[in-house]
Structure 1
Amino acid sequence: MTACAIEPSTGHEDGAAPPGCTITADGSYAARLARSGDSLFPERWTLDGPEPYAVPLPGNQPEEPGTEVQPLSDGRVLVHRLVDGRHAFSLLYPTGPGTGELPLGAVECPDGDTRLSLLPPAPCGERAYAVAVGAGSTALWLVAGGAFGPERLAEIPGRCSGGVWLDRAGRMLALDRETGGRTKAVVVDLERGGEVSPLLQIAAESDDRVLLADPDSGLLLIRSDAPSPGSGRLGWGVLGSTLPVRFPECLRLPDCAVTPFAIQPGQVLTPEGCAVALRIDGPLGSWVGVWRPAERRVHHLPAPEGWLTGSGLWTQEGVLRLPYATAAVPCGVAGLNAPAREEKPEKSAPVSTEPEDSAPAEPAAARPVPLQQAPLGRLVTK
């Protein structure tokens, strides 16, 4: 079956999928901008109890569409607002019928073209980070969890995007850095003053980005145009491995955009057995795909009505928890069981040194090479 043959469920009459939410690394809380009429307000979801429930956290005035929210593991919600040209950060928390707000300070970017945005939630759940991307460099900021408000941690040459945590200690951060017209994933070591080391370089002329990482197994999901110059493809590798990145043919879905958003944790010795959740966007809407590196097919599953698109978290047992909101259920979590792992044919090796393309490689396509090893000797992944 082709990817776009499935009938997706959008949960909206106009076909527009609802925006996603941000979930803490431990899955205990989520936060999003919810809508009431034409107004937006922060909303916290509690996910680790018997039933999920939402707590609205409206401020004194509605939020702007560009406001960012991120939950912390203690139940407070970090909010990032642009106020009079300054990036202001506060912690929101429920106080009976109202909302308490603890201002943390602000970051001023003198260059009007600098973009500041939050990074994905840190593994500890106690700190929050942001990057300010300027014309030729990127500043890394600790914006919550420090002693004295926002703290500038490092200045990184080049324009950085993405943001993936590689360990559970919150020390190693992967960023996609653009320099000299090429984008390569690098590692920033927060315990060494923001020291930058190369992480991923598949070919000299390729753009190589890290999309997701699982600290337990070391599984990495990457996007690179090395196998098909001019067209980014999804691939996978293992952190610290000497084997090359592979680019499964089954992840190439015609007329669809495929974005991985969650990796099953706890599979310490079997990265190729981790279930990976994919957001698939096609002409008719969005739905969920489930794929394992050991398999050569994608399982296509309808998303729950009102899915907060692109949001979700795996349990170690292989249940994909997808948050959704509808008029009838304003705060819900649907559980999808990962399809049973398929037995591989005996002739199929668990790890190949060649890409998994079923078609012959283009003559001009560079052969994938291993992940670079420079920062990995210091990386604690357990």
Structure 2
Amino acid sequence: MTACAIEPAAQDDGAAARTGSTTGPGSGPGEAGGGFSLAADGAYAARLAGEGEARYPERWTLDGPEPYAVPLPAGQPEDADAQLLALSDGRVLIGRRVEERRVYSLLYPSGPRTGEVLLGAVPDGPGAGGAVRLLPPSPDGLGGYALSAGERVSTVWRVTGGPGGPEPVAEVPGWCTGGVWLDGSGRLLALDRRPAGGGPVKSVAVDLGRGGEVTPLLEIAESSDDRVLLADADSGLLLVRSDAPSPGAPRLGWGVLGSTLPVKFPECLRLADAAVTPFAVQPGQTLTPEACAVALRIDGASGSWVGIWRPAERRLHQVGAPAGWQAGAGLWSREGVLVLPYATAAVPCGLARLARSGPPEPAPDGVRPAAERPARGPSTTPAQAEGAEREPQAGAAATVGVCRPVPLQQAPLTGRTA
């Protein structure tokens, strides 16, 4: 990849882009909430603006000549734990905690006021077995889903986009977290599940078009925790985190949906004293996952900045983020331009473009790959869930015991119900 520079963006380049969302430090792309949420097509965004006890929802319009924000205040300030989801039609889904329920509404501008459509509630207390949180926006742009995690059973709720109010659409045995869409229609959802009786975390695919049928998706080693962080339907690129190559120290890896080749764990993605989390994948790279640009949020002691990486290059480019970056949020254009939303006192609603020309902005000092040697093996198509490849140690190739792969080759998923 050529050198990059961050420039202000006068307009959005991501009409057909993959997006990420953030809820705060340490959040992954599979979590929505009160931070910053991008609609599936990148046309709108939403965040919980304000400070202290004066918080209110704010909608950003990103697909016009210049980005602008519209406040959507309700009759009273919002709590800090209010959850937001931007939809592609310009409405904002909000989930407010009321006693032991999560109450959902759709917000939209209506003249000088805020229009609101009450949708209904989902149990969100001790009786529900755990907190309810919004999942990333459905790829169709209009569906809003929530996950209620329970000790023995977790439930996927369709909050909006259905015939009525909130309704359960899938029940998955065990405690589930994460939430990554695997296709472009909003039918296949990856969840990270821990069995009710305890044990390692494994990712499963939930087919919402078949009554919530559950299929094993990712199992690298029998005792490893294997989580799906991000997926791209165009290329099949899958970003995962697993401790299979180094027990007790989860690492970031990549594979390809539908393939039986091993997951790769590039050494360049393992940084000393910094956490690395993918949040956006370049769209439009059909059947060429090695060429996809991946944007990563890097969190260190000095703050958060941006990493750019392609599987074929096996090198991580680190660049400074714009001031006021909504950390962990961004979108790619098909041409490979990364757009990052930011807000400052001078620019309350802005977009910065990570261009392909000019000198790179330096990342914070002292943050380098944990090992400088290159990852072993060719840079051609590695893939999904058969095994994990460790980096060479003293010239010897270390291997990891693997389980039988369960690749996601096509939908609908049949014959492999968990």
For normalisation by structure 2, the TM-score amounts to 0.81
1:176 counterpart residue number: 192
Alignment of 1:128-139 (within 5 A): 128-139=144-155
Which protein has greater RCO, CA pairs closer than 8 Å, 6+ apart?
Answer: 2
Mapped partners of 1:103, 1:186: distance in 2:
32
2:220 counterpart residue number: 202
What's the secondary structure of 1:310's corresponding residue?
coil
Q: 1:366 aligns with which of 397, 400, 403?
A: 400
Equivalent pair of 1:66/1:81 in contact (CA under 8 Å): yes
Aligned in 2, Cα 1:108/1:37: closer, same or farther, shift over 3 Å? closer
1:10 counterpart residue number: none
Alignment of 1:87-106 (within 5 A): 87-106=102-121
Q: What RMSD, in angstroms, separates the aligned Cα atoms of the two structures?
A: 2.4
> Counterpart of 1:91 in structure 2: which amino acid?
L
> Could you tell me how far 1:359 is from its partner in structure 2?
3.8
Q: Which deviations, in whole Å up to 9, do the C-alpha atoms of 1:4-42 show, x marking residues without a partner?
A: xxxxxxxxxxxx98x841101111110010015641110
> Could you tell me how far 1:349 is from its partner in structure 2?
4.8
1:188 counterpart residue number: 206
Q: Which deviations, in whole Å up to 9, do the C-alpha atoms of 1:289-308 show, x marking residues without a partner?
A: 00001112100110000000
What's the secondary structure of 2:354's corresponding residue?
strand
Q: Which deviations, in whole Å up to 9, do the C-alpha atoms of 1:289-333 show, x marking residues without a partner?
A: 000011121001100000001100111100111000000000000
Give the paired residue count.
358
> Could you tell me how far 1:47 is from its partner in structure 2?
0.7
Equivalent pair of 2:37/2:84 in contact (CA under 8 Å): yes
> Could you tell me how far 1:338 is from its partner in structure 2?
5.3
Q: Does 2:316 align with 1:274? A: no
Equivalent pair of 2:311/2:379 in contact (CA under 8 Å): no
Equivalent pair of 1:227/1:361 in contact (CA under 8 Å): no
Unaligned 5+ segments in structure 1 are 1-15
> Counterpart of 2:160 in structure 1: which amino acid?
A
Mapped partners of 1:89, 1:349: distance in 2:
46
Alignment of 1:122-271 (within 5 A): 122-179=138-195, 180-271=198-289
> Could you tell me how far 1:84 is from its partner in structure 2?
2.2
Equivalent pair of 1:239/1:371 in contact (CA under 8 Å): no
Q: Which deviations, in whole Å up to 9, do the C-alpha atoms of 1:231-272 show, x marking residues without a partner?
A: 100000000012110000000100000000000010002101
Identity level (%):
59
2:380 counterpart residue number: 350
> Could you tell me how far 1:154 is from its partner in structure 2?
1.7
> Could you tell me how far 1:130 is from its partner in structure 2?
0.5
Mapped partners of 2:258, 2:241: distance in 1:
18
Mapped partners of 2:137, 2:346: distance in 1:
29
Q: 1:83 aligns with which of 86, 98, 110?
A: 98
Mapped partners of 1:102, 1:308: distance in 2:
28
Equivalent pair of 1:246/1:368 in contact (CA under 8 Å): no
Regions of 4+ moved over 3 Å: 351-354, 358-365, 367-371
Alignment of 1:290-305 (within 5 A): 290-305=308-323
Unaligned 5+ segments in structure 2 are 1-23, 26-33, 359-373, 414-418
> Counterpart of 1:65 in structure 2: which amino acid?
A
Equivalent pair of 1:228/1:365 in contact (CA under 8 Å): no
> Could you tell me how far 1:44 is from its partner in structure 2?
0.5
1:287 counterpart residue number: 305
